[in-house]
């Protein structure tokens, strides 16, 4: 929390995107019994998974176990995870008239998420902050239009280029409803929120400014200013300044950019989070350690750096390497003289 506010800290705080996930034995065992969406919808299991991952790893924040796409159901879509596949969202939005199907989210549609937050907060050590999260409007729109993940986001782009009016209406609807969802998470007890514009890196800078920035900004502006908001996306090497302009008191940096250079570009009046390449966790510990050192060196001991990966932990990552990473961040950052 201090790092989010750019206040000095003793050691650089660290948490990891997808820190509760398949790379962890306990999680795999639970998932062998409980399907993914059932797990997301059980407040008790959410609390268990969230708390046990954070405490086992010894990280400095817990992130609520949830799915980025839980909001699509109350928006009027079906959500399904087929075995081994990514999410499927049906029926996908293909043409402007499909927007008539969009619903306003009812506040109690997220009862299970908010209850999961309350139980997690009650079970979590008081000194560990709990992060909530949600998609940014573009990333959510891409799932609704593609009907799932995509390599090229062609349908999303074609929709946006061909019918800018319908695109604006969609983005406005999503920004408004995402804001309500995030405000609900904050009321339920999360202390900070990460906004994932995971796939926005498929766009160039001019498209970002025209088709994304206004609605990401609308989302950030609809959220309380006193709560730290982390704004993250992947492949955003050419978008960072614009993302910063859209909002967030912490900018999440992916691994395609050097952290030092990225911080200079977004400005030292925001905090930054990042940015170890998750693939480094497949190398040996000396490599991990030297990469951590490099990132800490680039952050230069300046207040306002939260250590994280540049994207989520990969499913086959060796657990011991993740534990070694957390140790390395804590150990190397509390002796700045060695940097």
Q: Which residues are catalytic?
A: 18, 22, 31, 67, 143
At residue 279, the 3 state secondary structure works out as helix
Give, rounded to a whole angstrom, the gap between the first and last alpha carbons of the chain. 23
Strands 229-232 and 87-90: unpaired
Q: 164-188 vs 213-221: helix axis angle to the nearest 10? A: 30
107, 214, 237, 303: residue in contact with a second copy (rule CB under 8 A): 237
Please, what is the minimum distance in Å from the beta carbon of residue 199 to a second copy? 13
**Does position 287 bind a second copy by CB under 8 A?**
yes
Single out the residue of 102, 85, 82, 84 nearest to residue 93, CA to CA.
Answer: 102
Using rule CB under 8 A, residue 293 touches a second copy: no
For position 153 contacting a second copy by CB under 8 A, the verdict is yes
Nearer to a second copy, 280 or 322 (CB): 280
Measured in degrees and rounded to the nearest 5, phi and psi for residue 208 equal -60, -45
According to the binding rule CB under 8 A, does residue 58 interact with a second copy? no
- Decide if residue 338 touches a second copy (CB under 8 A): no
Residues 101-130 that bind a second copy (CB under 8 A): none
For residues 122 and 326, give the distance between their C-alpha atoms in angstroms, rounded to a whole number: 24
Q: How many CB atoms lie within 10 A of CB 324?
A: 18
CB of 56 to a second copy, least distance (A): 23
Site string for a second copy, 304-323 (x = CB under 8 A): ----------x-x-------
Could you say whether residue 280 binds a second copy (CB under 8 A)? Answer: yes
Instruction: Verify binding: residue 284, a second copy, rule CB under 8 A.
Output: yes
Q: Can you give the three-state secondary structure of 208-276, one letter per residue?
A: HHHHCHHHHHHHHHCCCCCCCEEEECCCCCCCHHHHHHHCCCEEECCCCCCHHHHHHHHCCCCEEEEEE
CB of 316 to a second copy, least distance (A): 8
**Span of 32-40, 137-145, 242-250, 271-279 interacting with a second copy by CB under 8 A:** 271-279
Q: Of 55 and 241, which has the nearer Cβ to a second copy? A: 241
CB of 187 to a second copy, least distance (A): 36
Q: Looking only at residues 188 through 207 of this chain, which bind a second copy when binding is defined by CB under 8 A?
A: 201, 203-207
Own/partner pairs for 147-155, CB < 8 Å, 24+ apart?
147/88, 147/89, 147/90, 147/91, 147/92, 148/85, 148/86, 148/87, 148/88, 148/89, 149/86, 149/87, 150/199, 152/202, 153/199, 153/202, 155/92, 155/94
- Closest distance between a second copy and the C-beta of residue 305, in Å? 17
Question: Least separation, in Å, of the C-beta of 271 and a second copy?
Answer: 20
Q: Which is nearer to a second copy, 7 or 261 (CB)?
A: 261
Question: Residues interacting with a second copy, by CB under 8 A?
Answer: 152-155, 157-158, 161-162, 201, 203-207, 235, 237-238, 255-258, 261, 277-280, 282-284, 287, 294, 314, 316
């Amino acid at each position: 929390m201090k790092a989010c506010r750019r206040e000095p800290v003793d050691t650089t705080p660290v948490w990891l995107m997808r820190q509760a996930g398949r790379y962890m034995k306990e999680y795999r065992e639970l998932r062998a019994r409980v399907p993914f969406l059932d797990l997301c919808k059980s407040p008790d299991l959410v609390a268990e998974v969230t708390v046990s991952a954070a405490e086992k790893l010894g990280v400095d924040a817990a992130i609520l176990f949830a799915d980025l796409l839980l909001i699509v159901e109350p928006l009027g879509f079906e959500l399904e995870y087929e075995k081994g596949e990514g999410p499927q969202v049906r029926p996908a939005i293909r043409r402007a008239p499909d927007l008539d199907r969009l619903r306003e989210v009812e506040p109690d549609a997220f009862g299970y998420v908010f209850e999961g937050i309350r139980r997690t907060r009650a079970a979590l050590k008081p000194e560990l902050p709990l992060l909530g999260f949600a998609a940014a409007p573009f990333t959510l729109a891409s799932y609704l239009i593609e009907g799932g993940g995509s390599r090229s986001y062609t349908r999303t782009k074609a929709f946006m280029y061909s019918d800018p009016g319908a695109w604006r209406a969609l983005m406005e609807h999503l920004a408004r409803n995402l804001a309500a969802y995030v405000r609900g998470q904050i009321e339920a007890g999360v202390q900070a929120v990460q906004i994932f514009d995971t796939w926005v890196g498929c766009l160039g800078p001019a498209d970002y400014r025209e088709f994304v920035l206004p609605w990401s900004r609308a989302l950030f502006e609809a959220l309380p200013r006193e709560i730290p908001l982390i704004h993250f996306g992947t492949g955003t090497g050419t978008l960072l300044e614009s993302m910063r302009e859209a909002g967030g008191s912490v900018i999440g940096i992916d691994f395609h950019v050097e952290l030092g250079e990225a911080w200079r570009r977004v400005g030292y009046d925001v905090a930054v989070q990042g940015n170890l390449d998750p693939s480094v966790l497949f190398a040996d510990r000396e490599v991990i350690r030297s990469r951590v050192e490099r990132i800490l060196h680039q952050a230069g001991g300046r207040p306002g750096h939260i250590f994280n990966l540049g994207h989520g932990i990969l499913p086959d990552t060796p657990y011991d390497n993740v534990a070694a990473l957390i140790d390395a961040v804590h150990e190397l950052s509390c002796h700045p003289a060695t940097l």
